Amino acid sequence: MKNFYTEIDNITMTFSDIKKTDDGMEYIKIYFEKPVDGGFYFLESTLPSLDIVDVEGFSEQEQRKLLAYASRNSFIVWELAREGGAGVA
């Protein structure tokens, strides 16, 4: 399930519920989406690693900025996910 986190500069950030790897490590999928003519730019990553899973349309500089934003806000995302995913506006 995707939970809304925030929207800045027409880019929406959402996050998944907490998931577990086969070895029991917790992670959260995070998503950034920006509407453009004919579709969306998107970036999918995970917390806590911030590894990019998939990306389309965002430049490398934009990707770095989005991941830095995710890093700065990761503690809030984890807290929200633990509380059941209630996003903030």
Q: How many domains does the chain have?
A: 1
**Residue pLDDT, tens place only, 19-51:** 999 999 999 999 999 999 999 999 999 999 999
Distance (Å, whole) CA 1 – CA 83: 14
Residue 82: both structure tokens together:
């633990």
Asked whether residue 70 is domain-assigned, the answer is yes
Asked whether residue 88 is domain-assigned, the answer is no
Would you give the end-to-end CA distance of the chain in angstroms? 18
Domain around 75: 2-82
Long-range contacts of 64-67 (CB under 8 A, 24+ apart): 66/11, 66/32, 67/43
Asked whether residue 33 is domain-assigned, the answer is yes
Dihedral-angle region of residue 57 (phi above 0 means left; psi in -120 to 50 means alpha; beta otherwise): left
Asked whether residue 73 is domain-assigned, the answer is yes
**Residue pLDDT, tens place only, 49-58:** 999 999 999 9
pLDDT of amino acid 88: 46
Asked whether residue 6 is domain-assigned, the answer is yes
Asked whether residue 57 is domain-assigned, the answer is yes
Q: Is the pLDDT of residue 86 over 70?
A: no
Above pLDDT 70, what percent of the chain?
Answer: 94
Radius of gyration of the chain from its Cα atoms, rounded to whole angstroms: 13
Q: Is the pLDDT of residue 1 over 80?
A: no
DSSP 8-state secondary structure symbol assigned to residue 46: E
Q: What is the pTM of this model?
A: 0.88
